[in-house]
Structure formats: structure tokens, C-alpha cells
Amino acid sequence: MKRRLTALSLCLSLTAMAAEPACQFESIPSGPQKLGRWIDKGNWLSNENLRVTLPAANTFMPAQRMLLAQGGEALRPANRILDLNAAKAIDPHDGRERDLAFLLDSRLGADGLLVLQNGRILGERYRNGQQPEDPRLLLQATRPLLNLLGAVSIGQGKLVADRALNRYVPALGSQPGIRKQSVQRLLESKEGRAWRDEDLVAWQQAGGWMPNAPTTGVRAWLAKPGRWEIPETDIAPVPLTGTPENDLLAWLLTESNGVPLSRLFCEQLQSRLRPEHPVLWLTDPQGVELADGLALSLRDFGKLGQVLLETRSNRNRSKIPGWFIETLTASAGLRTPEIPGLAKGSEARYGFIHLGGDPSRAALIGPNGTSLYIDFDRRLVIALYTSNPVTTSPLLLATLEQFWKAVGNSGMALRKP
């Protein structure tokens, strides 16, 4: 009888473990809010400090940290690897032919590179203190992923594209600026508001990004009466900075799905390709995940591109709607406005960029050159963590474009590992 009870107990224990959800997070406090003598909460997001601070974001802000399940799915190497010194590209800075290693180090300021083809590692390297296991803060590169979650929510019936935002977030009240904005318009990321500098500073303080954060948190700031009566304006295809609209979208996603943002992201986008390394999501003083607060290792960033690739190949198994992938890859119209630095026909779509030139290419482009490139036809993904000294510029975009094209055409620059 005792053996039977022991066996039964073991069986129940294993069943409970199997039923335990994989997407669990724990709250962790911020660190000392200082690195060395010169970097503190007042300057940690300055361009000159990002190389050091982005992999150490939790030093400055509290976060939700994913509890990694045992047996996280590790990426495997390909039979041949990319030779960065043999592959060549035209350097947009001077028109000369350079090897890819030169572009990475001298032009892009690359801290990490991951190249995947058919889900296998074609190339990987780290520089300037970046470690493979470091979860690095994506900042505004998170916004396209939130738009993607919005598309998933529409596909699952959690959101309706033409409904007003206050239908899902009653706390925003009946402000005309909210009643007039639909879910679709917010996800398309083509319009913002003409925020004053003092508005943006107050928003950042409410989220805890800057010193002297109020304890009320970012949602209290977003819900203040009259907040959304600021006139609307067009925004740049490649965002220069974060805006309150990002946190507005994050709030919409959590309310419509009934789960925290970190868990929603994990369940909808990471559940099939399990993370290898820690995943963090920075929070405001109230413990609410911030729209620009996602931090991932480079491999786990690259896996998101692989998720999009697999959606196109296996639509029936993916939570991402097929129409979203077709939107990213469909050719642009003849009168598409030019995005300086990128190939003709490039166009912003749901925060991603449909790339002109070769067909079926798209990219997620964040600040300072951090990017995720997807070539659906070649089944190629390129994930880059960079610390370029400028947030964005036509020259930076042109360098990324040349690098992507060179890797895509580098069949002769492969060698055995």
C-alpha cells in the first residue's frame, strides 16, 4: 500500500509540474542605480553610455524576470559558418568595398551579431563586453513587437480593429482624443501626438526612467484628464525616441487580454521557441511593465525573427495571423514615400519596415542600429545589437542595408567551423 501511495504521489507531482505554466515571472528590485563613478540614473540612457547600461538595465530599474524552464531550446550551429572577413560589401561612408567585419566594428559599432539560416547559426560573435547570456534592453525596438501582439489579439478576438481605445481601457475615460482613436490606428504606428518636451520628461519620470519618479506610475499619467487632447502629427518611419503612445498600447494589450504584458509576450511569441537566457521586463514604481522595457539576449531576440519565418511556412501552427506576414512582405506601391538610406520601395508597416529591392524582406529597426532582419525567401534572420553614436540617420540605415544584402549574397563566403 505504501508503494502504491508513493507511486501515486510521484504521478500527481509530475502531473502538477507538467500543468504548471511555462510563462512565470518574479519581481526583482532595482540595483544601486549607479555604474562606476560617472554613470547614474540621470545619464544612463545617454548615447555614449548605452553600450554599458543596456545590458545592465536592472541596475537602474525594477523588473519582472522570467523563470526559465529546464531544457530551454538552444540554437544549433550550421554545417558551415559565415566568414566575415571574406564577405564584402560597399561601405556607404566612402563607396569603397570593405569586409563585413569592418562594417560591424568601424561603422555600426556592433556589440553582438547573430545570423540564422533555416534556424541554424550561420554566424555569431560578441564584442565590447556584450556576453551571450546578457539580456539587453531593446528600448523603442520593442514597439513593433507590441504591434505584433496587437495583431495576434485581433486574430484571437480579444481586440476589434475599428473599436475605440476606451472600449478596452475604461480608466482612460471619455476623452475625445481617446474616443476618436481606433485600435487599428494605434497599431499602424503612423501617427502620434505633438508632445511638448516637458510632457515627454514627465512621462519618462512617471515610468521611472529618470530620477525623482512619482510613485503613482505611468498609468496615472496616461489617464490624466485632457492628456490625449494634444494635436496629432505624422511620425518618422524609424522612431527616434519612445512616446507615451507606446505605453498606451501596452495598457490596451494587458486590459484586453487580462494578463500582464510580460506573460502575454511569453505565451504568444516565445512559447514555441523557449528562451535560452534570462528575459527581463522593466517596470514602473507600481510594478507595471513598461512598453520600452523588454530585455532579451541576442539569441532570444533572433528567435523572434525565426517565429515570423515559421509563421509563413506553417500558418496553421502559428498564433500570428497570416495577414500580418503578408502585410510585411507585400510589394509597396509606386508612390511610396522614400525612407532615406533604405532601398526604394521601403515602407513602415506596423512599426516594422517592409524593405524594397529584393522581395519578401522586412526589418525591425530600433535606436542606434539595433535591428532584426528577416529574409523570408532565403529563410535568413540577422539580429544585431549595436551602439552606434547616433540614434538613427540615412547613413546608418544605408550601412545596415548594405550589410544585410551582403550576408544574403554571401554563399561563397562560408567555411567549415
pLDDT in tens, 258-313: 999 999 999 999 877 789 999 999 999 999 999 999 999 999 999 999 999 999 87
Secondary structure element (H or E) that encloses residue 254, with its range: helix 244-257
- HSE of 191 in the Cβ direction (CA atoms, 13 Å)? 13
The whole-number average pLDDT for the span 345-357 is: 94
Q: How far is CA 322 from CA 264, 319, 327, 372, in A?
A: 19, 9, 9, 20
Whether pLDDT at 351 is above 90:
yes
Question: Does domain 78-134+299-415 sit in CATH 3.20.20.80?
Answer: no
> How far is CA 319 from each of CA 277, 355, 363, rounded to the nearest angstrom?
23, 24, 20
Of residues 2 and 262, more confidently modeled: 262
pLDDT at 72: 64
Nearest to 183 by CA among 103, 237, 245, 139: 245
Backbone phi, then psi, for 334, in 5-degree steps? -70, -25
Among the listed ranges 140-144, 314-318, 328-332, 341-345, which one has the minimum average pLDDT value? 314-318
Q: What is the CATH number of domain 135-296?
A: 3.40.710.10
Beta bridge partners of 137: 295
21: pLDDT strictly greater than 80: no
Band of residue 147 on the pLDDT scale cut at 50, 70, 90 = very high
User: What is the chain's alpha carbon radius of gyration, rounded to the nearest angstrom?
Assistant: 22
pLDDT band at residue 121 using 50, 70 and 90 as cut-offs: very high
Binned at pLDDT 50, 70 and 90, residue 5 comes out as very low
HSE at residue 272, side-chain half, CA atoms within 13 A, is: 15
Query: CA torsion angle for 391, 394, 396, 401 (degrees, to 10)?
Result: 130
127 closest CA partner among 109, 102, 107, 103: 109
With contact defined as beta carbons under 8 Å apart, do 373 and 404 qualify? yes
Q: Parse the chain into domains and list their residue ranges.
A: 78-134+299-415, 135-296
C-alpha cell at 58: 536592472
Instruction: Reply yes or no on whether the pLDDT at 380 is more than 50.
Output: yes
**What is the three-class DSSP state of 397?**
helix
**Considering the chain, what percentage of its residues have pLDDT values greater than 90?**
74
pLDDT tens digit sequence for 383-408:
999 999 999 999 999 999 999 999 99
Q: What is the pLDDT of residue 320?
A: 93
Flag whether pLDDT at 1 surpasses 80. no
> What pLDDT sits at residue 14?
42
- Please state, in angstroms and as integers, the Cα–Cα distance from residue 348 to each residue in 337, 341, 408, following that order: 10, 14, 22
What confidence score (pLDDT) does residue 266 get? 94
Domains 78-134+299-415 and 135-296 share a fold: yes
Round to whole Å and give the CA distance between 84 and 108.
14
Of residues 176, 186, 118, the one with CA closest to residue 150? 186
* C-alpha pair distances (Å), 380 with each of 33, 302, 363: 38, 10, 11
Query: What does pLDDT average to over the chain?
Result: 90
What number of other Cβ atoms are within 10 A of residue 3's Cβ?
Answer: 7
Q: In Å, how far are 208, 247, 286, 341 from 216, measured between CA atoms?
A: 10, 15, 7, 42
Which of 202, 207, 203 has the alpha carbon at shortest distance from 57? Answer: 207
Q: What is the pLDDT of residues 205-228, one digit of tens each?
A: 999 999 988 899 999 999 999 999
Which pLDDT belongs to residue 315?
65
